[in-house]
Amino acid sequence: MSKQWVLTQEDFDRLLAWLDADREQAGRKYEEIRRRLIKIFACRGCGEADLLADETINRVARRLPDFVADYTGDPAPYFCGVAQKVHLEYLRRKPAPPPPPPPPDEEAERAYACLETCMGELEPEHRRLVLQYYMEDKQAKINHRKELADALGIAINALRIRAFRIRAALQRCVEDCMGRAAA
């Protein structure tokens, strides 16, 4: 995308005059076009929708002297056409490299080690139950918990209570372990 050209007040005034002879109406049209462009880019999954909308407007303003004499009709479709080109350029750009992972948090590592220790101290059937209880996501989690309750021969609410009690005991164990590690 072009970084050298900057929208001047003269260029902006020319753009507003093209949108409408009445300055107030031109301002409203400008805002509506900009809002529409942002919506277009956002719906296409662009993370920089407002910047791409501004780039589109800048390109139209830069080229305005070249075509304004020959252009008839509503200006909004012209902006949409330019937005299409800007979007294609956006897609071709290489994505920025992902940020480096944060340095390991010592406290989080200690908490994880404490959790592993506390999980090892649980009775095998409690460990199995809590691991299975927190498996899956969304609908699969709901279905899995129903199956688990059926396999244990208990109601789903009784399963929730058991899992809650085991989790509460684990939490106390981890907190105690963290307290000992901090001291």
Pair (110, 87) in one structural domain:
no
Q: Name the domain count of the chain.
A: 2
1 belongs to a structural domain: no
Are residues 117 and 71 in contact, defined by beta-carbon separation less than 8 angstroms? no
Distance between CA atoms of 33 and 3, rounded to whole angstroms? 22
Residue 46 has pLDDT above 70, yes or no: yes
What CATH code is carried by the domain that includes residue 140?
Answer: 1.10.10
Residue with tokens 């000992």: 180
Does residue 157 lie in a domain region? yes
pLDDT digits (tens, 9 = 90+) for 63-112: 999 988 888 889 999 999 999 999 999 988 866 677 788 888 888 889 99
Does a structural domain hold residue 47? Answer: yes
100 vs 18: CA distance, rounded Å: 47
The domain containing residue 78 runs over which residues?
9-92
Quote the pLDDT of residue 72: 87
63 located within any domain: yes
Between 38 and 94, residue with greater pLDDT: 38
Q: Report residue 75 as tokens.
A: 């200006």
Same domain, residue pair 76 and 140: no
Domain presence at residue 101: no
- Confidence band of 3 (pLDDT split at 50, 70, 90): low
Task: Give the pLDDT band of residue 133 (cuts 50, 70, 90).
Answer: very high
